[in-house]
């Protein structure tokens, strides 16, 4: 985490929100995983598990149904382990209890979420989490500050993020990635796939670029976080 990001997280922490997840999504029913996700104040395990649970996310499903517009209006919610309360007049059912219990186990009691529309049917989702509850006055003040912090995070991260669906890994790149995760070298991967070594190198360079990494170890770690690897 660079100094700028650390300061932003510190500012949010001062408001009682010590965790933040920035997610780049594409508005597409077939996109089961985000284009990119960056966690601050979260463990690697938490970030990875979050990505795996994306299809279960109540807020994401409400967005897909058109119940939540993609706009700058923040959504606040309180999670009590049985229901997820969004505002004062909208409660989700106990069918979401598995996800909510997991959120509680990760120290998530109050959440502030808002989305920033982007080009190419993309949007950025800013998610701030708190382990405690907040009275209405303090929460309203926090939401205003988190809104500004979130936009600063977006401005800092967005230029380096994928541009669209073309940045998803191809089938061949996924195959190379899986063999990399098993410890195979380029020549071994080429033999397994019936390709030339030069072609394998091109696929690996492509997946490095799309994952924004510079080494095999980083590629495997990022791939696990984005659920490309189990």
Tens-digit pLDDT profile for residues 89-127: 555 554 555 656 666 677 778 888 888 887 656 788 888
Q: Find the largest Cα–Cα distance for the chain.
A: 64
Supply the pTM of this predicted model: 0.62
Each residue's pLDDT tens digit, 140-171: 889 889 999 988 888 888 777 655 555 567 77
Q: Which residues contact 126 (CB under 8 A, 6 or more apart)?
A: 20, 21, 22, 113, 114, 115, 116, 146, 150, 153, 154
Percentage of residues in the chain with pLDDT exceeding 70? 67
The pLDDT assigned to 204 comes to: 94
Give me the DSSP letters along 193-219: HT--HHHHHHHHHHHHHHHT-SSHHHH
Terminal Cα-to-Cα distance of the chain (whole angstroms): 25
* Cβ neighbours, 10 Å, residue 23: 22
- Check residue 186 and give its pLDDT: 95
pLDDT of amino acid 136: 83
Of 1, 7, 24, nearest in space to 149 by CA? 7
Rounded Cα gap, residues 5 and 142, in angstroms = 18
Q: How far apart are CA 102 and CA 154, in angstroms?
A: 27
Residue 85: name the closest of 66, 110, 67 by CA. 110
Q: Which residue did the predictor score with more confidence, 1 or 73?
A: 73
């Amino acid at each position: 985490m660079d100094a700028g990001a650390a300061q932003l997280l510190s500012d949010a922490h001062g408001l009682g929100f010590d965790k933040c997840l920035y997610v780049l999504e594409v508005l597409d029913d077939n996109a089961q995983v985000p284009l990119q996700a960056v966690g601050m104040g979260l463990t690697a395990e938490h970030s990875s598990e979050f990505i795996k649970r994306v299809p279960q996310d109540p807020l994401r499903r409400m967005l897909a149904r058109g119940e939540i517009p993609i706009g700058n209006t923040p959504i606040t919610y309180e999670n009590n382990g049985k229901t997820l309360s969004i505002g004062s007049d909208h409660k989700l059912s106990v069918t979401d209890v598995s996800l909510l219990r997991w959120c509680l186990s990760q120290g998530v009691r109050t959440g502030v979420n808002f989305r920033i529309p982007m080009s190419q049917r993309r949007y950025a989702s800013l998610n701030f989490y708190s382990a405690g509850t907040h009275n209405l006055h303090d929460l309203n003040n926090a939401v205003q500050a988190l809104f500004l912090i979130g936009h600063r995070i977006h401005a800092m991260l967005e230029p380096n993020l994928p541009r669209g669906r073309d940045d998803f890994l191809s089938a061949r790149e996924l195959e190379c990635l899986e063999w990399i995760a098993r410890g195979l070298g380029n020549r071994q991967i080429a033999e397994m796939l019936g390709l030339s070594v030069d072609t394998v190198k091109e696929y690996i360079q492509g997946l490095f670029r799309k994952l924004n990494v510079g080494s095999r170890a980083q590629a495997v770690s990022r791939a696990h976080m984005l659920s490309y690897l189990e």
